[in-house]
Amino acid sequence: MLTIYTEKQKKQDLFNSTKWGKGADVEVVANFVYALTLLDSEKYKSTIEKAIKYIISEQKEQGYWESRWYYGKLYGTYVCLRLLNEFPTQYGAVKQKIKDFLIGFQNADGSFDENQYKNLSTSFAIFCMNLLEFPELEKMKNSAQQFLIEHQHENGSWKAENFIKPKAHEPYKSKTLTTAYALKALL
Protein backbone atom coordinates (compact mmCIF):
# COMPACT_ATOMS: atom_id res chain seq x y z
CA MET A 1 0.00 0.00 0.00
CA LEU A 2 1.43 3.34 -1.05
CA THR A 3 1.12 6.14 1.49
CA ILE A 4 1.07 9.70 0.25
CA TYR A 5 2.20 12.30 2.77
CA THR A 6 1.34 15.97 2.79
CA GLU A 7 4.20 18.48 2.97
CA LYS A 8 3.53 18.98 6.70
CA GLN A 9 3.60 15.21 7.30
CA LYS A 10 6.89 14.93 5.40
CA LYS A 11 8.37 17.71 7.52
CA GLN A 12 7.11 16.04 10.71
CA ASP A 13 8.63 12.71 9.62
CA LEU A 14 11.95 14.42 8.87
CA PHE A 15 12.02 16.01 12.33
CA ASN A 16 11.04 12.70 13.95
CA SER A 17 13.88 10.95 12.15
CA THR A 18 16.58 13.60 12.62
CA LYS A 19 15.73 15.44 15.83
CA TRP A 20 13.13 13.87 18.09
CA GLY A 21 13.05 10.17 17.42
CA LYS A 22 10.14 7.81 16.87
CA GLY A 23 8.17 5.80 19.36
CA ALA A 24 7.34 6.20 23.02
CA ASP A 25 9.88 7.77 25.36
CA VAL A 26 9.87 5.92 28.67
CA GLU A 27 10.60 9.05 30.73
CA VAL A 28 7.81 10.99 29.02
CA VAL A 29 5.36 8.13 29.56
CA ALA A 30 6.40 7.88 33.22
CA ASN A 31 5.88 11.61 33.79
CA PHE A 32 2.49 11.59 32.07
CA VAL A 33 1.23 8.50 33.88
CA TYR A 34 2.50 9.84 37.21
CA ALA A 35 0.29 12.88 36.58
CA LEU A 36 -2.66 10.56 35.87
CA THR A 37 -2.12 8.78 39.21
CA LEU A 38 -2.21 12.11 41.00
CA LEU A 39 -5.26 13.27 39.06
CA ASP A 40 -7.47 10.18 39.40
CA SER A 41 -5.83 6.77 39.63
CA GLU A 42 -9.18 4.93 39.62
CA LYS A 43 -10.50 6.67 36.54
CA TYR A 44 -7.29 6.00 34.60
CA LYS A 45 -6.52 2.60 36.13
CA SER A 46 -6.43 0.69 32.84
CA THR A 47 -4.17 3.25 31.14
CA ILE A 48 -1.88 3.38 34.17
CA GLU A 49 -1.56 -0.41 34.30
CA LYS A 50 -0.75 -0.66 30.57
CA ALA A 51 1.80 2.14 30.82
CA ILE A 52 3.49 0.59 33.85
CA LYS A 53 3.74 -2.72 32.03
CA TYR A 54 5.49 -0.90 29.16
CA ILE A 55 7.77 1.02 31.56
CA ILE A 56 8.84 -2.14 33.37
CA SER A 57 9.56 -3.83 30.04
CA GLU A 58 11.96 -0.99 29.21
CA GLN A 59 14.05 -1.30 32.39
CA LYS A 60 17.60 -2.25 31.47
CA GLU A 61 19.02 -5.48 32.87
CA GLN A 62 21.36 -3.42 35.08
CA GLY A 63 18.35 -1.75 36.72
CA TYR A 64 18.12 1.71 35.16
CA TRP A 65 16.00 3.30 32.43
CA GLU A 66 17.54 5.01 29.46
CA SER A 67 16.15 8.41 28.50
CA ARG A 68 15.91 9.64 24.97
CA TRP A 69 15.61 13.26 26.06
CA TYR A 70 17.84 13.52 29.14
CA TYR A 71 21.52 12.93 29.82
CA GLY A 72 22.68 10.17 32.12
CA LYS A 73 21.00 7.09 33.48
CA LEU A 74 19.34 8.58 36.51
CA TYR A 75 16.68 11.05 35.38
CA GLY A 76 14.72 8.33 33.59
CA THR A 77 15.28 5.97 36.50
CA TYR A 78 14.01 8.56 38.95
CA VAL A 79 10.81 9.42 37.07
CA CYS A 80 10.01 5.73 36.49
CA LEU A 81 10.62 4.92 40.15
CA ARG A 82 8.56 7.92 41.26
CA LEU A 83 5.60 6.49 39.33
CA LEU A 84 6.09 2.94 40.63
CA ASN A 85 6.37 4.27 44.17
CA GLU A 86 2.73 5.36 43.95
CA PHE A 87 2.01 1.65 44.39
CA PRO A 88 4.05 0.86 47.54
CA THR A 89 3.09 -2.80 47.86
CA GLN A 90 3.96 -3.63 44.24
CA TYR A 91 7.04 -3.81 42.04
CA GLY A 92 9.46 -5.03 44.72
CA ALA A 93 11.70 -6.86 42.23
CA VAL A 94 11.92 -3.77 40.02
CA LYS A 95 12.85 -1.62 43.01
CA GLN A 96 15.47 -4.16 44.07
CA LYS A 97 17.08 -3.92 40.62
CA ILE A 98 17.22 -0.14 40.98
CA LYS A 99 18.83 -0.47 44.40
CA ASP A 100 21.43 -2.90 43.05
CA PHE A 101 22.13 -0.56 40.13
CA LEU A 102 22.67 2.40 42.47
CA ILE A 103 25.02 0.39 44.67
CA GLY A 104 27.18 -0.50 41.68
CA PHE A 105 27.01 2.92 40.02
CA GLN A 106 28.25 5.23 42.75
CA ASN A 107 31.74 6.63 42.23
CA ALA A 108 34.40 6.65 44.96
CA ASP A 109 33.87 10.40 45.52
CA GLY A 110 30.17 9.85 46.31
CA SER A 111 28.92 11.07 42.93
CA PHE A 112 27.01 9.19 40.27
CA ASP A 113 27.46 9.00 36.50
CA GLU A 114 29.98 10.53 34.16
CA ASN A 115 32.04 13.69 34.60
CA GLN A 116 29.85 16.01 32.54
CA TYR A 117 26.74 15.88 34.69
CA LYS A 118 27.68 14.50 38.07
CA ASN A 119 25.72 17.07 40.08
CA LEU A 120 22.45 16.33 38.27
CA SER A 121 22.94 12.57 38.24
CA THR A 122 23.91 12.59 41.90
CA SER A 123 20.78 14.59 42.72
CA PHE A 124 18.56 12.12 40.85
CA ALA A 125 20.31 9.20 42.57
CA ILE A 126 19.51 10.79 45.93
CA PHE A 127 15.87 11.19 44.88
CA CYS A 128 15.83 7.47 44.04
CA MET A 129 17.38 6.54 47.38
CA ASN A 130 14.79 8.67 49.19
CA LEU A 131 11.99 6.82 47.39
CA LEU A 132 13.48 3.36 47.89
CA GLU A 133 13.95 3.76 51.64
CA PHE A 134 16.38 0.84 51.94
CA PRO A 135 18.39 1.39 55.16
CA GLU A 136 21.54 0.10 53.47
CA LEU A 137 21.43 3.08 51.07
CA GLU A 138 21.70 5.66 53.86
CA LYS A 139 25.52 5.75 53.90
CA MET A 140 25.58 6.04 50.11
CA LYS A 141 23.09 8.90 50.26
CA ASN A 142 25.18 10.73 52.84
CA SER A 143 28.25 10.33 50.64
CA ALA A 144 26.32 11.64 47.62
CA GLN A 145 25.07 14.63 49.58
CA GLN A 146 28.61 15.36 50.74
CA PHE A 147 29.72 15.34 47.08
CA LEU A 148 27.07 17.95 46.28
CA ILE A 149 28.08 20.13 49.23
CA GLU A 150 31.73 20.00 48.14
CA HIS A 151 30.81 21.07 44.59
CA GLN A 152 28.58 23.99 45.52
CA HIS A 153 29.98 27.32 44.36
CA GLU A 154 30.76 30.08 46.82
CA ASN A 155 27.66 31.99 45.70
CA GLY A 156 25.45 29.00 46.59
CA SER A 157 24.90 27.68 43.06
CA TRP A 158 26.13 24.64 41.17
CA LYS A 159 27.57 24.69 37.66
CA ALA A 160 25.21 24.31 34.74
CA GLU A 161 25.23 20.74 33.46
CA ASN A 162 23.77 19.19 30.33
CA PHE A 163 20.22 18.12 31.07
CA ILE A 164 18.12 17.87 27.89
CA LYS A 165 19.74 16.19 24.90
CA PRO A 166 17.96 16.96 21.64
CA LYS A 167 19.19 15.17 18.55
CA ALA A 168 20.14 18.55 17.09
CA HIS A 169 23.21 18.42 19.40
CA GLU A 170 22.20 21.59 21.19
CA PRO A 171 22.13 20.43 24.81
CA TYR A 172 20.14 22.43 27.29
CA LYS A 173 21.86 23.24 30.55
CA SER A 174 21.00 25.67 33.29
CA LYS A 175 22.77 26.72 36.47
CA THR A 176 19.36 27.48 37.98
CA LEU A 177 17.99 24.04 37.17
CA THR A 178 21.10 22.19 38.42
CA THR A 179 21.05 24.29 41.59
CA ALA A 180 17.35 23.62 42.21
CA TYR A 181 17.80 19.85 41.89
CA ALA A 182 20.95 19.85 44.06
CA LEU A 183 19.23 21.87 46.78
CA LYS A 184 16.24 19.52 46.74
CA ALA A 185 18.62 16.56 47.06
CA LEU A 186 20.13 18.12 50.18
CA LEU A 187 16.79 18.45 51.98
- How high is the pLDDT of residue 78? 99
Asked whether residue 180 is assigned to any structural domain, the reply reads: yes
The band of 99, judged by pLDDT with boundaries at 50, 70 and 90, is: very high
Asked whether residue 117 is assigned to any structural domain, the reply reads: yes
pLDDT tops 80 at residue 39? yes
The band of 96, judged by pLDDT with boundaries at 50, 70 and 90, is: very high
Asked whether residue 6 is assigned to any structural domain, the reply reads: no
Distance CA 178, CA 152 (A): 10
pLDDT tops 80 at residue 155? yes
Query: Rounded to 5 degrees, what are φ and ψ at 163?
Result: -125, -60
pLDDT tops 70 at residue 168? no
Domain of 77 in residue numbering reads as 24-185
Q: How many structural domains compose the chain? A: 1
Q: What 8-state DSSP symbol labels residue 182?
A: H
pLDDT tops 80 at residue 17? no
Asked whether residue 138 is assigned to any structural domain, the reply reads: yes
- How high is the pLDDT of residue 102? 98
For 106-116, write each residue's pLDDT tens digit.
999 999 987 77
pLDDT tops 90 at residue 11? no
pLDDT tops 70 at residue 20? no
Residue 47 is part of a domain; what is its CATH number? 1.50.10.20
Cβ neighbour number for residue 1 with a 10 Å cutoff:
2
Give the mean model confidence (pLDDT) for residues 73-90.
98
CA distances to 40, 70, 80, 175 from 52, rounded to whole Å, are: 16, 20, 9, 33
Asked whether residue 16 is assigned to any structural domain, the reply reads: no
Q: Which residue has the higher pLDDT, 84 or 114?
A: 84
Asked whether residue 15 is assigned to any structural domain, the reply reads: no
pLDDT tops 80 at residue 145? yes
**Lowest mean pLDDT segment, chosen from 2-11, 75-84, 85-94, 107-116:** 2-11
Q: What is the pTM of this model?
A: 0.91
Asked whether residue 4 is assigned to any structural domain, the reply reads: no
Helices assigned H by DSSP within 58-91: 74-84
Asked whether residue 127 is assigned to any structural domain, the reply reads: yes
